[in-house]
C-alpha cells in the first residue's frame, strides 16, 4: 500500500503533463513564418533619384566572377564572365552573360539580360566600396555576389 500510493501519484502526474503542454502551446502567441531576410544591405543613398551610373563603369570582380560595365551613348551595358561550377544557377563553367542596366541610382543598380529579362540582378554599393548583388532567374534560382573594383 505504501508503494501503491506514490506510484499512483506518479502515474497521474505523468498523464497530466501532455495535456498541460498542449494548453501552453494554445496560450503562446502564434507567429506567421517569416520569409528569408533581404539579402542586400540598406542603400546609403536616395534611391528615388536617378543617376548617370558613372560609379558603376569599369570592371568589378569577385570569387569566380568578373563584371564589366561600359557606356554606349545614353545606356550602360554589362558582360559577366562566371567561372562557376555547372550546378550553380544552371550555368555551365565559363558562362558569359551580357545585358543592360535597367535602372541605376547613386548606389543601387538593376541589371537584366535574356529574352523577357529572364535574368535579373539587384545590387547595392556599400560604404566600403563593395557591390553586393543578388541574381534571380525566372525559375526562381538565386545567387549572391560580393564584388569589388578590379585593381
Nearest in space to 45 (alpha carbons), one of 35, 56, 34: 56
- Residue 70, pLDDT > 80, answer yes
Which has more confidence, 105 or 85? Answer: 105
* pTM of this prediction exceeds 0.85: no
Quickly state the pLDDT bin for 86 (edges 50, 70, 90).
Answer: very low
- Are 95 and 146 in contact by the 8 Å Cβ rule? The answer is no
Cell 499512483 belongs to residue: 8
Best CATH choice for the domain 54-149 from the list 2.40.128.20, 1.20.120.340, 3.40.50.970, 3.40.630.30: 2.40.128.20
Note the pLDDT of residue 109: 94
- Domain locations along the chain: 54-149
- Sign of the Cα torsion 87, 36, 109, 131 reads negative
Mean pLDDT of the region 38-60: 87
Note the pLDDT of residue 110: 94
Amino acid at each position: 500500500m505504501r508503494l501503491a500510493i506514490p506510484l499512483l501519484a506518479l502515474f497521474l502526474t505523468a498523464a497530466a503533463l501532455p495535456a498541460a503542454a498542449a494548453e501552453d502551446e494554445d496560450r503562446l502567441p502564434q507567429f506567421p513564418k517569416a520569409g528569408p531576410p533581404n539579402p542586400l544591405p540598406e542603400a546609403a543613398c536616395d534611391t528615388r533619384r536617378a543617376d548617370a551610373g558613372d560609379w558603376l563603369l569599369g570592371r568589378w570582380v569577385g570569387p569566380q566572377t568578373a563584371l564589366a560595365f561600359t557606356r554606349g551613348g545614353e545606356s550602360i551595358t554589362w558582360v559577366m564572365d562566371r567561372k562557376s561550377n555547372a550546378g550553380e544557377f544552371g550555368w555551365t563553367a565559363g558562362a558569359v552573360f551580357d545585358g543592360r542596366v535597367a535602372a541605376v541610382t547613386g548606389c543601387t543598380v538593376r541589371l537584366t539580360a535574356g529574352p523577357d529579362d529572364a535574368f535579373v540582378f539587384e545590387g547595392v554599393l556599400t560604404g566600403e566600396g563593395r557591390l553586393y548583388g543578388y541574381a534571380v532567374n525566372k525559375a526562381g534560382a538565386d545567387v549572391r555576389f560580393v564584388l569589388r573594383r578590379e585593381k
